[in-house]
Structure 1
């Protein structure tokens, strides 16, 4: 599919001009249990339980690593007992001015590498502005200390980074980049959204090469998601702004040289909105190379949470399948594939309790188990994150009341329960 033919609408409203109520989010912003974007931190100690967001990853030895921010400091810590306790946190950086992206779709990241090194990232931006700078830092001593953070780029404005590590150790990075938007604005021209940019590292994250915007007009405040395809190349999915301010999703594979994208539109939801949904998609790819995408929409053609898959490398996608309970404002879906299992997980709110619901598929997404609640809280909470270790999958979730929890996803329907 030709990308250029899909684009070309007038400028969209900036993120700071898009109040939550105007974007019709999946969870009511006034409810304490659902206010994960703007809730005050639960506490101020440097530990995952005090963070508004937590990003998890397992290393090759089975240790759980988490990246998080408390106040104006970014930390990394590890756990060897399933998240019940954590090591003393290592400080990545403390900023003097501005804020650290650590809410909802935006959060610090941690990437364990095969040689034992760790790559951490975070984004800073001026308060009440959405023009950010992505920084990366590395640890080569088991997470005890990290190198001085380096800016991924020194101009433009970048946010919502995501990383994919190939079997050969190359690290691909994708992010949303406002460089072209700022140039257009300086020239008095209209420009919609952000660019979709990519780069790669062959030296374990010390430097990134080939940093380039390959496509313009991505929705500027929804996260990108990524996964590794069967052939070892990275695939990315994001909310794209199509002609007429239609904010639907696009999935594409990045070529080995980082120069081209190959993929297609996930669905024609036809969500015309002159503001930003703050609601990015989720993606996973199974061992057979099938792309699985989950997302939220309030489009003319469909509304709610949906799932689709592609068996031809993004050239076409299956008819969107609806899931989630509309009476409980479902939102923020994520997906993960492990050996013999495919999971989709999302957040719901019934007016009092926020819950995390889960479904399992044993046939590659053709059929799914009945939804089951696997965690809940009566207070503010983060969006759900999924992480895998060997053949097991886990929900990673931090809430004000319960703190940080790492919950195994069920291998069978009977083992699913609230924890």
Structure 2
């Protein structure tokens, strides 16, 4: 009896310790989330240092176009030296309503091959999430933009993403709540939102095929996108499965644009409403689909990576990314030049660090994590971008401003402006390690 009582006490202590550990991890995650966009910088100058997010886009000529918002206006700025300096910023739009700019949703520019700049942003009424996605174009290098037009002539759209095909077709995808609104009006239950797509063959002047192809996506997370080897886009999003399980789904758009075909990436068993953290997707030259995502499910918790060797029919066993004790979040993936790059945030309770790894064998193994930058203040999500064969980390922080940092090892000795000195020494290293249709650098600016 005494032994049984002691065993019971030991079990209770272990359970209590586990609960405390999970609560501490949850607290770190929540604190990191608050720090990510805790408050806009206390200035209203039309410069990235006064923004809460900044989104890069490289043109074919190597110029960097940065998009951000300050005091309710959407701005752009251009750099010819990979973020070392910027030309004076230009106004893209001064929209009415609340501007979606929170890391997951953000204004953006797509620099097209003919020099056209296609910009987009989302607005919504105050205290409402019934958004409207607007698009506008500039054909004179940002000196002027056409009057913004809604992507869809109705409300309920958010989290737009664009990806440029090899023949110049511009694909768009977004979350669309029109089916949810119709179901609500009819007194029917409806979980989440829907995945909608469209495409443009005239440099963004018009979009065709606008339709919701799959219902019941999670309504508050960004969509990941990448091109498959045949030039067709693949999208990944957090989906609402049975019993409100919000795990991830990846699907490819058919050539006629009428069908999304894909599968569930993993069974995390996360029943939640708004995680506010979308996934990342990259497809390499061999056609492998690479996925990274955040979860707090019953099956697994933290940041994970998996890949598909068969075009999304099946996925490898999820592999943990980062140090679980440092609340890893906000994954990014990019495939380039035979290598796969991944980056993410970690938070130790005081400092946010951006780490990165490279795989040169199709995601089977990665080199040791390298710390690229850190801050003790609020910061944007990390983003990866490529220009002329070089992959960069793009990151905006409240304290340090905007930074563009090369990831390749052969660029590691090139000092990035505003990067924290001795960062790698300070960072503790981690071990190396359904066919479906819709129902009937671094300058501180």
Fold shared per TM-score above 0.5: yes
Q: How big is the alpha-carbon RMSD for the aligned residues of Structure 1 and Structure 2?
A: 1.9
- The structural deviation recorded for 1:416 is 9.8
CA contact (8 A) 1:124 1:132 kept: yes
Calculate the TM-score normalised by the size of structure 2: 0.85
Question: Aligned to 2:307, which of 309, 323, 333?
Answer: 309
1 CA distance for matches of 2:397 and 2:184? 40
Q: Deviations over 1:278-330 (max 9, x none)?
A: 01001111111111110000111111110011121111111111111111111
Which residue is 1:332 aligned to? 330
Q: Deviations over 1:27-54 (max 9, x none)?
A: 54446x9522342234211111211111
Distance in 2 separating the partners of 1:409 and 1:42:
31
Q: Show the counterpart of 1:264.
A: 263
User: Which residue of structure 2 lines up, in the alignment, with residue 17 of structure 1?
Assistant: none
Is 1:85 matched up with 2:98?
no
Any conservation in 2 of the 1:27–1:330 contact (CA below 8 Å)? no
**In the alignment, which residue of structure 2 is the partner of 1:373?**
371
TM-score (norm 1): 0.90
1:36 paired residue number: 36
Counterparts of 2:279 and 2:221 in 1: how far apart (Å)? 8
Please, which moves more after superposition, 236-245 or 254-263?
254-263
Segments of 5+ residues of structure 2 without an aligned counterpart are: 1-22, 421-445
Greater radius of gyration (CA): 2
Cα deviation, 1:232-260, whole Å, max 9, x if unaligned, reads 11110000000011000001111122101
Runs of 4+ in 1 over 3 A off after TM superposition: 24-31, 412-419
Unaligned runs of 5+ in 1: 1-21
What is the CA-CA distance between 1:82 and the residue it aligns to? 1.6
Identify if the C-alpha distance between structure 1 residues 26 and 153 changes in structure 2 by more than 3 Å, giving closer, same or farther: farther
Once the two structures are overlaid, the 10-residue window that deviates more, 179-188 or 41-50, is: 41-50
- Equivalent residue for 1:51? 51
* Change in 2 beyond 3 A, CA 1:177/1:235: same
Q: How big is each residue's C-alpha offset from its partner over 1:372-409, in whole Å with a ceiling of 9 and x where there is no partner?
A: 11000010000101100121100100000001000111
**Post-superposition CA distance 1:116-174 (Å, at most 9, x none):** 11111000011221110000001111122111100001213100001111111111100
How far apart are the structure 2 equivalents of 1:220 and 1:261? 18
Change beyond 3 A, Cα 1:136–1:34? same
Structure 2: distance between partners of 1:173 and 1:414: 35
- The corresponding residue for 2:121 is 122
Assess if the C-alpha contact under 8 Å between 1:374 and 1:416 holds in 2: no
C-alpha distance in structure 2 between counterparts of 1:354 and 1:313, whole Å: 35
Distance in 1 of aligned mates of 2:253 and 2:31 = 40
| Paired residue total | 394
Between Structure 1 and Structure 2, the one with more helix by share is 2
